[in-house]
């Protein structure tokens, strides 16, 4: 039964994150010393095990220096990064990518939402492979998508449909 003092979306978020919270707070992993012993390779949450590549560090050092007042501001699909990505795609794939072909978002789910909204009409079904990169379980309930027994997402409640202009 829904407790009306708690927003439904918050309840859904709590259910969605419960397995992760149990893992972080109650599992054998949660009881490892910090840092873990050197003979343990902890791949649980993507912690690094090797020093970063020198070229990666140099790139970070070069671009971490702010070049204008908005350097660390929230960005919305700006043209300069789109040009860089398009050029990189042209070089790596040998195809005529243009900046207009690139749409940058602040996360994979936002990107999936934008892409699906562009090609799926309200009430239509969208199938995405199980290894889609969308966090689960629980994202289904939060986004209005549901995974069936085959691991496929279905658009059930038109959440991905943007309002008509």
Look at 28-42, 53-67, 117-131 and tell me which has the smallest mean pLDDT: 117-131
pLDDT tens digit sequence for 79-110: 999 999 999 999 999 999 999 999 887 766 66
Q: Helix/strand/coil (H, E, C) string of 95-157? A: CCCCHHHCCCCCCHHHHHHHHHHHHCCCCCCCCCCCCCCCCCCCHHHHHCEEECCCCCEEECC
How remote is the C-alpha of 163 from its chain's centroid? Answer: 23
What pTM does this model have?
0.41
pLDDT band at 120 (very low <50, low <70, confident <90, very high): low
How remote is the C-alpha of 53 from its chain's centroid? Answer: 24
Instruction: Write down the domain spans for the chain.
Output: 1-66
Contact between 162 and 118 under an 8 Å Cβ cutoff? The reply is: no
Per-residue pLDDT, averaged over 120-146, amounts to 55
Is the model's pLDDT at 37 over the cut of 70? yes
More confidently predicted of 87 and 149: 87
pLDDT band at 69 (very low <50, low <70, confident <90, very high): very high
Mean pLDDT of the chain: 74
Beta bridge mates, 154: 146
More confidently predicted of 61 and 155: 61
């Amino acid at each position: 039964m829904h407790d009306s003092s708690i927003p439904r979306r918050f309840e859904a978020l709590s259910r969605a994150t419960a397995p992760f919270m149990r893992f972080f707070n109650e599992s054998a992993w949660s009881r490892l010393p910090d840092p873990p012993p050197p003979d343990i390779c902890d791949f649980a949450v993507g912690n690094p095990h090797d020093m970063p590549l020198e070229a990666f560090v140099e790139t970070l050092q070069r671009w971490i220096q702010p070049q204008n007042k908005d350097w660390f501001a929230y960005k919305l699909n700006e043209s300069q990064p789109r040009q860089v990505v398009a050029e990189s795609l042209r070089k790596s794939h040998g195809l005529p990518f243009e900046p207009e072909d690139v749409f940058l978002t602040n996360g994979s789910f936002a990107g999936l939402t934008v892409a699906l909204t562009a090609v799926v009409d309200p009430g239509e079904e969208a199938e995405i492979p199980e290894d889609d990169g969308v966090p689960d379980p629980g994202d289904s309930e939060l986004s209005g998508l549901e995974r069936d027994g085959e691991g496929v997402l279905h658009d059930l409640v038109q959440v991905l449909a943007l309002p008509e202009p």
